[in-house]
Amino acid sequence: MISAVVSAVGLVIAAVSATIALIEVRQNHQWSRRKASEETLSKLVIGDFPDTLERLILEFGWDPVNSSINYDDVAKKLNEQQKLLLDLLLRRLLRILEALCIHIKHGILDEDICYDYLASMLTNLYLRCGHFIENERFARKDQRVFENFSKYAHDWDRRNSQVKGTYARLTSIPPKRGFP
């Protein structure tokens, strides 16, 4: 009888220990995600992204994040060589943000922290460059081009509209074109 009580107490202690360990693991995982999010976003604001954005501003007088001018309006004023450079720089910006959005999608980065950093930037960039993205998809015959960036831009635009009490702005982007 005493051995049964000792075994039962041992099982209870083991179960409590396992529960505490599981809670600790989950808390450490959440902390790691938040820390990774902060580190990634800090690198974003001092790395290739701002350098590429500065080149767009200096070489073309266009800030796709803060300007009210769309990609099409800038591109139509350029010769072929200038347009090629514009497209390369813009593609670089979007690839950086696409990679970040893929990390959010897979839970590597915390969406709420990224939203706090990037919601306005992502939605503004999509609003100014939506036609460029559609053209990239059409040229590559792949609707997945910048799909995660586009998804979070739309999601965060809806989220912004709920916070600000305004209408979502990204509904003005035309629907996806089919392939030839």
Q: What are phi and psi of 177, to 5 degrees?
A: -85, 155
- Cα–Cα nearest to 40, from 117, 93, 105, 92: 117
Mean predicted confidence (pLDDT) in 72-82: 97
- Find the angle CA(171)-CA(158)-CA(124) to the nearest 5 degrees: 65
pTM, entire model: 0.74
Which tokens hold the place of 112?
């709420």
In one-letter notation, the amino acid at residue 56 is L
Closest to 161 in 3D by CA, of 119, 118, 110, 130 = 119
Closest CA to 109 of 26, 38, 28: 38
pLDDT at 180 over 50: no
Mean pLDDT of all residues in 113-129: 92
- CB-CB contact of 85 with 74 (8 Å): no
Mean pLDDT for the stretch of residues 8-27: 69
Report helix angle 48-60 to 2-46, nearest 10.
20
**Residue 120 parent element (H or E):** helix 111-140
User: Is the torsion defined by CA of 152, 154, 157, 158 positive or negative?
Assistant: negative
CB 135 within 8 A of CB 177: no
Does residue 10 or residue 128 have the better pLDDT?
128
| pLDDT score recorded for residue 3 | 79
- Residue 35 — very low, low, confident or very high, per pLDDT cuts 50/70/90? confident
Query: For 90-104, what is the mean pLDDT?
Result: 93
